[in-house]
Structure 1
Amino acid sequence: MERHQVAIYLGALAAGAAVGWAVPAAGPGLEWAINPVLAALLFVTFLQVPVAELGRSLRDGRFLAAALVVNFVVVPVVVARMFAFLPGERALRLGVLLVLLTPCVDYVIVFSGLAGGSSRRLLAATPVLLLAQMVLLPGLLWLFLGAELGQVVRAGPFLEAFLVLIVVPLALAWLTQVWAARRAAGRAVVAALGTAMVPLMAVTLVIVVASQVPKLGAGLARVAEVVPFYVVFLVVMAFAGVAVARLFRLDVAAGRAIVFTGATRNSLVVLPLALALPDSLALAAVVVVAQTLVEVVGMVVYVRVVPRLVPQR
């Protein structure tokens, strides 16, 4: 399933869109299923983020520094350059910011490995990347939106979504890892749950897309306006990642991993935050999902292009 996950995700996105357009009345019912399936997906996702690797990532200082610089210095600069050209609608802008300012911590490891990137180093760095984006995201949003952030985001639902759908699954996942480190039964459970990652992602995409498509109405053209920005982001970050890898004098495998971590984003982890926004900003969730579609296709290209950008010496 991991080898064919691109095709699986594209099929899930297409199936969700078909259901949403064919049976729009099912949208409200499916929306009730989003939070449970997202919580399950994020639990399994965070289970792949090894807290035990935190010490190793801190010891690999040069790679970790490169990963932090590309994600939390270079990416915000690139987004800032694009921000001035984004459509003026609040929902579109907020959706783009939510998804582009948060680095991926799950399937980036698989895609990086397919292109010859160092999956081990990337895996070790994921706990730091996950914690860093949780801490930095509010500040980054404030830098872009200023006082407008308080007008468009209600703190209560936003914090509730963050706690219930991110903090709780993260804590449970890391407690499960502690159990697995001490008991054979725990290791068996973790191994079994690891195989659920791709099916859960597919189910989540079907439910999310099918529930959000009926909300589009005349908004489809508006969402389509941000798609070129996602494409430009992937193109720019390919070269920016190469530049960061060279700046830190990383080896080939590590350099390719840096290119991937700079380009892939955390769409499904920030989706609960987008869904917690007021109804007037409901389009932000669709904007986040649209990034997933662009990125999955982009990763197919990256797997072929990145080895040429960072060739074997």
Structure 2
Amino acid sequence: MKDSLERHQVWLYLAAIIFGMVTGWFWPAVTVTFETLLWPVLGLLLYTTFTQVPLTHMATAFRDKRFNAALVLGNFLIMPAIVWLLLFIAPADPAIRLGIVLVLLVPCTDWFISFTHLGGGDGTRAIAASPILLILQILTLPIYLWLFIGEDMVSANLTGHFVPVFFGLILTPLLLAWLTEKAGKKRPGFAGYIRSLGWLPVPFLALVVFMIAASQITLVIQTGRMLPQLLVIFSLYLVLAALVSKVLSRSFHLPGARGRTLAFSFGTRNSFVVLPFAIALPELWAPAVVVIVFQSLVELFGMTAYLKWLPRLISKPDESSSAH
């Protein structure tokens, strides 16, 4: 049942966006309440998601050195270089470019695991890798933002807006999730509680995108003219992510399931983690919010394609020989 919800979640988000836009268009007065409720709902989304990341298993995450080397090289060196190249075909609007950079530089730590499981990847290694990805993206994102956005970050004092959100809405749910996982190890009742929380990220994210679509209907319409260009950029990113995983799986001798796990990691991004940063920015930068939400939709359709494509693109030696 949970697998089915995760497999078809893209349609739930799409329906939430359409319903949100209709609500915002016909009942604009209601959207003021949505803007207020958005922050606590985002906090709950991040908390429920972080509880599904094995934060207390950091030691086991480092055991497969070859896989982890390929994972880190791809996510934090090669894919950022690809993002830099994609910016050459991106719109000139600084807010749009900020949204692209924000969302494409942070590897996913939740539905990456789900799609790895659904797509014949190595779920155990995906679970073990998630804490590494989460910690490294927190450390590297400020550096890449400074490298890619540079002068715009300084002139708009973006760091001043990011810091409160980071401590209030990222670190607090992260700490609570870690404490919840620690309690789950000591008390069996908490383990069931953590499993039940695993059902909540998808509906909470649907609620978040509904609220954003409703409260930002004017912005969504204004940004609509750039969506075809963004579709090209995000689709190219997904294709290149799969090809990079193919090259690295061969270079590091990681065929089959481990290679597919690399592909799902490179292709999926932590859109909901960077969303609070974009929402906290001044109105001038608001289009970044639409970019992040749109990327998550493109990505989810892309993951549906990955489920069919990756087993053929990255197969075990015996699988490829039997296919001919």
TM-score (ref. length: structure 2): 0.92
2:247 pairs, out of 243, 247, 257, with 243
What is the CA-CA distance between 1:85 and the residue it aligns to?
1.9
- Shift of residue 115, structure 1, vs aligned partner: 1.0
- Per-residue CA distance 1:233-270 (angstroms, 9 max, x = gap): 11111111111111111131110000110011111110
Greater mean alpha carbon deviation, residues 21-30 or residues 180-189 = 21-30
**Matched AA of 2:216:** Q
User: Is 1:231 aligned to residue 235 of structure 2?
Assistant: yes
Amino acid across the alignment from 1:277:
L
- Equivalent in the alignment of 2:187: 183
For residues 260 and 25 of structure 2, the distance between their equivalents in structure 1, rounded to whole angstroms, comes to 39
Residues 101-152 of structure 1, C-alpha deviation per residue, up to 9 Å, x if partnerless? 1111111111111110011101101111001001100100111122322113
Gaps of 5+ in 1: none
| Compared CA separation, residues 221 and 128, structure 1 to 2 (3 A) | same
TM-score by structure 1 length? 0.95
Partner of 1:135: 139
Identity within the alignment, %: 39
Match of residue 148 from structure 1: 152
1:276 aligns with 2:277: no
2:66 alignment counterpart: 62
Distance 1:175 1:130 in 2: 16
Separation (CA, whole Å) in 1 of partners of 2:149 and 2:121: 35
Cα deviations by residue, 1:289-310 (Å, 9 ceiling, x for unpaired): 1101111111111111111101
Output one character per residue of 1:179-211: Cα deviation in whole Å (capped at 9) or x when no partner: 000012221221221222222222222222222
Q: Gapped runs of 5+ residues in structure 2? A: 318-324
CA contact (8 A) 1:31 1:207 kept: yes
**In the alignment, does 2:295 pair up with 1:294?**
no
Mark the CA change 1:200 to 1:238 in structure 2 (over 3 Å): closer, same or farther.
same
Structure 2 residue aligned with 1:197, among 185, 201, 222?
Answer: 201
Report the more deviating stretch, 81-90 or 13-22. 13-22
Which position in structure 1 is the counterpart of 2:3?
2
1:13 and 1:293 in contact (8 A); partners too: no
Check 1:231–1:252 CA distance in 2 against 1; reply closer, same or farther (3 A cut).
same
Distance 1:247 1:203 in 2: 42
| Residue in 1 that maps onto 2:321 | none
Post-superposition offset of 1:32 = 1.3
The CA distance in 2 between the partners of 1:20 and 1:123, in whole Å, is: 38
Quote how far apart the aligned CAs of 1:31 are.
Answer: 1.4
- Residue 23 of structure 1, CA deviation: 3.0
Structure 1 position 252 matched with structure 2 position 256: yes
Q: Shift of the alpha carbon at 1:19?
A: 2.4
2:34 corresponds, among 8, 30, 35, to 30
Q: Does 42-51 or 155-164 show the bigger shift? A: 155-164
SS in 2 for 1:64: helix
| CA RMSD in angstroms, aligned pairs only | 1.6
Correspondence for 2:320 = none
Report the alpha carbon displacement of residue 223 of structure 1 after superposing the two structures with TM.
4.2
Which range moved further: 227-236 or 125-134?
Answer: 227-236
Q: What is residue 47 of structure 1 aligned with on the other side? A: 51
Q: Aligned residue for 2:117?
A: 113
Asked if 2 retains the 8 angstrom alpha-carbon contact of 1:209 and 1:289, the reply is no
Q: Which amino acid aligns with 1:182?
A: K
Further displaced range: 252-261 or 192-201: 192-201
The 3-state SS of whatever aligns with 1:49 is: coil
- The 1:153/1:291 distance shift into structure 2, 3 A limit, reads farther
Tell me the CA shift for residue 156 of structure 1.
3.0
CA distance in 2, matches of 1:296, 1:312: 25
Mapping for residues 204-215 of structure 1, pairs under 5 Å: 204-215=208-219
Given that residues 223 and 286 in structure 1 are in contact (C-alpha distance below 8 angstroms), is that contact kept between their aligned partners in structure 2? no
- The offset of 1:178, in angstroms, is 0.3
SS at match of 1:158: helix
SS in 2 for 1:35: helix
* Residue 78 of structure 1 pairs with residue 82 of structure 2: yes
Q: 1:17 aligns with which of 21, 28, 33?
A: 21
**1:93-108 mapped onto 2 (5 Å cutoff):** 93-108=97-112
Q: Distance in 1 between matches of 2:118 and 2:295?
A: 21
Deviates more, 1:256-265 or 1:207-216: 207-216
Give the drift of 1:164.
Answer: 1.3
